[in-house]
Structure 1
């Protein structure tokens, strides 16, 4: 018997706690995000130099951020100790430039996605917590879109001051300055907007929306920071990378394990390399899950239904909704839906 796939607005009032965003959310905005990996794009476009290929092979990973950070640290150590080693620095520069060009090729500019931001903003603000698995800037741009809207709602990602993460993240749920409700946003696999400096401090890049992408790439080129995101690898490699970051491990240990009664999943393929995230949410109080479905894919519904019951428990009610129905993600609502505070 096929699963019923309902319009989002038919079930939306039952969900307002947590939403998990997968790569399908980004692909719906730009097909350039459909690349299986940044490394694949770099290889197909012949951007990856031979030395860089050897590094990926030696460390047995496809994770651009990990390899770049290792070579960057090695180059900084050699430079600080005045050890002549032009090849290490040259490998870092070529790998960095390869990543910059790859991101430029794949990531749309702000003006190419700006038309979608009002709908995304209205969709996300009904949730108390947004957990994005995507490294791109779409969610961040949707957050900042709301800065010019006087609707008494605030998005917060818990980075403060000079761009550092405040690990007392729960305090940001309290509305301030006349806001009636708040949404906390977390980047479970990092983001282009996040970076590390030479002493491993993790920071958020600040710039005007329209110039943010270029500001990030110029900052990488300056050699003052390296990016902080996990975009490739097996689940074991991803968990290892998460545990090597204070911010990512805080999201993994605390945010994913915090109590919630409902969960919405949008644009996530439930791939084996990411299922550890759902496993972290076991025993957090979830009793109902709504999952987006693209173009009525019943095989996906069958697989997801079983996976959610296996991971979260057979007691969990699973509902499916059309990912292209009014009111969800980039699709304007047919009727006003108020955010749940």
Structure 2
């Protein structure tokens, strides 16, 4: 029996809690995000030096951020101890430049997606929690778009004025000033806007608007920071990376296990390497889940239904909705 796939407008009144965004949401905004992995992009360009390739093989990972951080730390240790080691530094520079070029290749500029931000803003602001598995800037640009609207709704990523994450992030659910509603935003796999410095302190890069992407890449080139995001990897590799970050582990330990009645899943393929996120939400009180479906893929419906029931419980109600229906994500409502 085929699953019923409904327009988003028929479900939206029942779902205002948590939304989980996968890579399909970013691909809907720009087809440039439809790549296998950042490492695959670099391999196609054949720009990665032999030493750098050996590091990916040795650590058995495709995660650029992990390898960049390991070599950056080794280079800084050598520098602090005045150990001459040009080979380590050359490997670091090679990996860094390849990562920067890969991000430039796949990430659209602000002006290329800006027309879609109003629809995304109106779609996301109905939720009290946004959990984005994507490291790109789409959600961040949506948040900054909202700062200029002055419609008494506020998106908060729980990073304070100096770019430091609020350990008591729960207090930010309270309404401040003229806020009438708010949405908290989290990145379980990190984001381009997040970075670490030499002593492993994590913070957010603060620049609004069109120049943010280039500013982030300039910060990486400055050698003051390395990015904080988990771009690829197996389940075990991702969990290890999460445990090695205060911010990521806080999201994993605290945000994912918050009590919630409903969950919307948009653009997430539910690959085996990410199912640990669904497992973390078991026991949080989820009673209903709405899952986006692209181009009426009934095989995906069957697989998603089984995974959700296996991980969240057999009694959870599951609704499917068309990811391209009016009012969903970056699609204008019917009355526009």
Does the alignment reach a TM-score above 0.5? yes
State the 4+ residue runs in structure 1 displaced beyond 3 angstroms: none
Looking at structure 2, the residues matched to 36 and 275 of structure 1 have their Cα atoms a distance apart, in angstroms, of 18
Answer yes or no: is 1:62 the counterpart of 2:62: yes
Matches within 5 A, 1:113-124: 113-124=113-124
Aligned length: 336
Q: Deviations over 1:194-217 (max 9, x none)?
A: 000000000100113100000000
Looking at structure 2, the residues matched to 301 and 251 of structure 1 have their Cα atoms a distance apart, in angstroms, of 28
Looking at structure 1, the residues matched to 66 and 311 of structure 2 have their Cα atoms a distance apart, in angstroms, of 29
Looking at structure 2, the residues matched to 204 and 233 of structure 1 have their Cα atoms a distance apart, in angstroms, of 23
- Give the secondary structure class of the aligned counterpart of 1:263: strand
User: Partner of 1:90 in structure 2?
Assistant: 90
Looking at structure 1, the residues matched to 13 and 167 of structure 2 have their Cα atoms a distance apart, in angstroms, of 31
Looking at structure 1, the residues matched to 92 and 209 of structure 2 have their Cα atoms a distance apart, in angstroms, of 28
User: Partner of 1:177 in structure 2?
Assistant: 177
Answer yes or no: is 1:136 the counterpart of 2:169: no
**Residues 230 and 238 in structure 2, CA contact (< 8 A), matched pair in contact too:** yes
- Give the secondary structure class of the aligned counterpart of 2:11: helix
Looking at structure 2, the residues matched to 161 and 29 of structure 1 have their Cα atoms a distance apart, in angstroms, of 29
User: Partner of 1:168 in structure 2?
Assistant: 168
**Residues 134 and 191 in structure 2, CA contact (< 8 A), matched pair in contact too:** yes
Matches within 5 A, 1:178-217: 178-217=178-217
User: Partner of 1:290 in structure 2?
Assistant: 290
Looking at structure 2, the residues matched to 241 and 128 of structure 1 have their Cα atoms a distance apart, in angstroms, of 27
Looking at structure 1, the residues matched to 54 and 2 of structure 2 have their Cα atoms a distance apart, in angstroms, of 48
- Give the secondary structure class of the aligned counterpart of 2:296: coil
Looking at structure 1, the residues matched to 269 and 186 of structure 2 have their Cα atoms a distance apart, in angstroms, of 19
- Give the secondary structure class of the aligned counterpart of 1:159: coil
User: Partner of 2:245 in structure 1?
Assistant: 245
Q: CA deviation at 1:161?
A: 2.4
Looking at structure 1, the residues matched to 43 and 13 of structure 2 have their Cα atoms a distance apart, in angstroms, of 45
- Give the secondary structure class of the aligned counterpart of 1:160: coil
Looking at structure 1, the residues matched to 151 and 236 of structure 2 have their Cα atoms a distance apart, in angstroms, of 42
User: Partner of 1:109 in structure 2?
Assistant: 109
Looking at structure 2, the residues matched to 171 and 208 of structure 1 have their Cα atoms a distance apart, in angstroms, of 24
Unaligned 5+ runs, structure 2:
none
Q: Deviations over 1:244-296 (max 9, x none)?
A: 00000000000000000000000000100000000000000000000000010
- Give the secondary structure class of the aligned counterpart of 1:278: helix
Looking at structure 1, the residues matched to 208 and 276 of structure 2 have their Cα atoms a distance apart, in angstroms, of 35
User: Partner of 1:260 in structure 2?
Assistant: 260
User: Partner of 1:29 in structure 2?
Assistant: 29
User: Partner of 1:339 in structure 2?
Assistant: none
Answer yes or no: is 1:18 the counterpart of 2:18: yes
User: Partner of 1:9 in structure 2?
Assistant: 9
Q: CA deviation at 1:67?
A: 0.3
Q: CA deviation at 1:335?
A: 5.5
Looking at structure 1, the residues matched to 235 and 307 of structure 2 have their Cα atoms a distance apart, in angstroms, of 16
Report the TM-score, using the length of structure 2 for normalisation.
Answer: 0.99
CA RMSD of aligned residues (A): 0.9
Report the TM-score, using the length of structure 1 for normalisation.
Answer: 0.97
Q: CA deviation at 1:334?
A: 2.7
